[in-house]
Amino acid sequence: MHRIYLKSGKEESLKRYHPWVFSGAISYIDGTPEEGELVDIYTAKGNFIARGHYQIGSIAVRILTFHEDEEIDVDFWKRKLQIAFEMRQAIGLCTRPDHSTYRLVHGEGDNLPGLVIDIYGQTAVMQAHSVGMHCCRKQIADALLEVMKESIKHIYYKSETTLPYKADLGAENGFLIGGSQENVALEYGLKFHIDWAKGQKTGFFVDQRENRALLERYACGRDVLNMFCYTGGFSVYALRGGAHLVHSVDSSAKAIELTNQNARLNFPDDQRHTAYAEDAFKFLDQMEDGHYDLIILDPPAFAKHRDALRNALQGYRKLNVKALEKIRSGGILFTFSCSQAVSKEQFRTSIFTAAAMTGRSVRILHQLTQPADHPVNIYHPEGEYLKGLVLYVE
């Protein structure tokens, strides 16, 4: 195995179990590992400290183990997946008859950097974000079947757009195991069509589940605007919560089609719901004052990288000003950011600025984050990416 030697003192973060080695921390590489190959990391003094997948870029290694005697083989994947599965069982996500969607593996949060696995009924959708995980996909799929036993029958691999572009792997999306067309999954008793083949991410935003459930509690009798609705998750919960009307908006016509499908799947012939394929900013500009008293703003990540941070914060501010200006008095705003590059404090400051610009009296009712099946590795605080505020606007 190739060895990577760190610069003196650069082992400190690994001693604290941080799962990445940055390229700037490397003193020299013994040999020329291919992207995705396993490498061993040594301190400047020549002591083994960790083993992981090598990659080209600012993150040079994603750590899989801190134990020299731990082989990365099928048994390794089985052990890790077993731990992840037991955790989801422990938090009650795989035991309810009215619920069949959850995240089984959340990258660094489950000590499997570069790997995501979402479960939709009997189908697992697996996504590699590193060449190393891509190379191990077959082993991981075999291990997954063994760990999950009868509970899954199909594994769909979806990494065409998540792997480093330059690696040019020609990864194709498709079933590694099985081949189900049955794509309706249950989330807390609600049905959703999951389009893993063509949809965003693994087909559904599993991470908003608990926030959608919270919204349901506030929806009764309200006029709801679900902005950036994608599959209509928040809309369907609002309908079940007894909303007076629900309007869903997304700029993508495909998303609107999915939203309508999901609304109909749960509430056929319900006249309370309408979906609009429109740009969010335009819709907010044209909407009348006081039309809605429950608004959800769940935009895509405005900052994918640190460089885009300033523009992203401005984007959040502008969007929230528009909603805060026009929401009915006594209204509730659910506002989110899923940009990893934006911290909780920065997001809160941009919402604070937006509120101050409108001059309205605003209280924070809830501070929201990602759910328990998207855990944050305590040694990797960067893993906390979803931020939300629930505001009461006087």
Q: Which is nearer to ligand SAH, 123 or 339 (CB)?
A: 339
Q: Which is nearer to ligand SAH, 130 or 202 (CB)?
A: 202
Nearest distance in Å: CB 189, ligand SAH: 17
Element of type H or E holding 85: helix 74-90
Q: Which of residues 197-216 bind ligand SAH (CB under 6 A)?
A: 205, 208
| Distance set, CA 373 to CA 79, 104, 187, 337, 386 (Å) | 18, 7, 13, 18, 13
Question: By CB neighbour count within 10 A (0-12 exposed, 13-18 middle, 19+ buried), where does 240 fall?
Answer: middle
Nearest distance in Å: CB 294, ligand SAH: 14
Please count the helices (runs of H) and the strands (runs of E) in the chain.
10, 20
| Conformation bin of residue 96: beta by default, left when phi > 0, alpha when psi is -120 to 50 | beta
Nearest distance in Å: CB 194, ligand SAH: 11
- Closest to 272 measured CA to CA, from 298, 238, 303, 309: 238
Q: Which of residues 266-295 bind ligand SAH (CB under 6 A)?
A: 279-280
Binding mask 299-338 for ligand SAH (x = CB under 6 A): xx--------------------------------------
Question: Cα separation of 155 and 160, whole Å?
Answer: 15
Binding mask 238-257 for ligand SAH (x = CB under 6 A): ------------xxx--x--
Nearest distance in Å: CB 60, ligand SAH: 31
Q: Determine, following the binding rule CB under 6 A, whether residue 180 of this chain makes contact with ligand SAH.
A: no
Token digits of residue 212 = 């959608």
DSSP annotation string for 253-290: HHHHHHHHHHHHHHSTT-TTEEEEE--HHHHHHHSPTT
Element of type H or E holding 89: helix 74-90
Q: Which is nearer to ligand SAH, 134 or 212 (CB)?
A: 212
Contacts of 12 (CB under 8 A, 6+ apart): none
Q: Which is nearer to ligand SAH, 179 or 189 (CB)?
A: 189
Q: Which is nearer to ligand SAH, 55 or 337 (CB)?
A: 337
Nearest distance in Å: CB 318, ligand SAH: 11
Q: Which stretch binds ligand SAH (CB under 6 A): 11-19, 79-87, 229-237, 375-383?
A: 229-237
Q: What are the beta bridge partners of residue 337?
A: 387
Nearest distance in Å: CB 129, ligand SAH: 18
Half-sphere exposure of 167 (CA within 13 A, CB side): 25
Question: Cα separation of 362 and 244, whole Å?
Answer: 23
Q: Which is nearer to ligand SAH, 77 or 204 (CB)?
A: 204
Q: Which is nearer to ligand SAH, 62 or 209 (CB)?
A: 209
- Quote the DSSP letter at residue 105: E
Contacts of 75 (CB under 8 A, 6+ apart): none
Q: Which is nearer to ligand SAH, 183 or 231 (CB)?
A: 231
Size of the site for ligand SAH (CB under 6 A): 17
Q: Which stretch binds ligand SAH (CB under 6 A): 58-66, 72-80, 97-105, 223-231?
A: 223-231
Q: Determine, following the binding rule CB under 6 A, whether residue 234 of this chain makes contact with ligand SAH.
A: yes
Residues that bind ligand SAH (CB under 6 A): 205, 208, 228-231, 233-234, 250-252, 255, 279-280, 298-300
